[in-house]
Amino acid sequence: NAGVTQTPKFQVLKTGQSMTLQCAQDMNHEYMSWYRQDPGMGLRLIHYSVGAGITDQGEVPNGYNVSRSTTEDFPLRLLSAAPSQTSVYFCASSRVSDGEKLFFGSGTQLSVL
């Protein structure tokens, strides 16, 4: 069972570069989301989606774009990378019903120089 797959695992960018973090799940989950994890701050929600064609902003959406064209995929785009976006990024998915537990990917460690 693949679960939630994130690629790449590591990435180094220069300030101003753009890139896409990939996330795919094979559990037919309607809900998908992106979190970032920074030291001493826990995980914070960037964007989320409750189904194909539906996305919404979380707590820290600035500088990031998402789209959801299929149930399986939920890519996160960094439009113009900044050092403040250096972080570990986690994708998560679940069924859409109250209180469902989230299944997390293994994370992407991103450094912006």
- Binding stretches for another protein (CB under 8 A): 31, 33, 35, 40-45, 48, 50, 56, 58, 88, 90, 92, 94, 96, 98-104, 106-107
Q: CB–CB of 93/38 below 8 Å?
A: no
Structure-token match 């094979």, residue found: 26
Closer CB to another protein, residue 24 or residue 92? Answer: 92
CB count in 10 Å sphere of residue 45: 16
Q: What is the residue type of 86?
A: T
How near is the Cβ of 96 to another protein at its closest, in Å? Answer: 7
Closer CB to another protein, residue 43 or residue 81? Answer: 43
Tell me how far CA of residue 62 lies from CA of 15, 71, 103, in angstroms. 16, 24, 24
How near is the Cβ of 50 to another protein at its closest, in Å? Answer: 5
Closer CB to another protein, residue 20 or residue 56? Answer: 56
How near is the Cβ of 80 to another protein at its closest, in Å? Answer: 26
Phi, psi of 29 (to 5 degrees): -80, 135
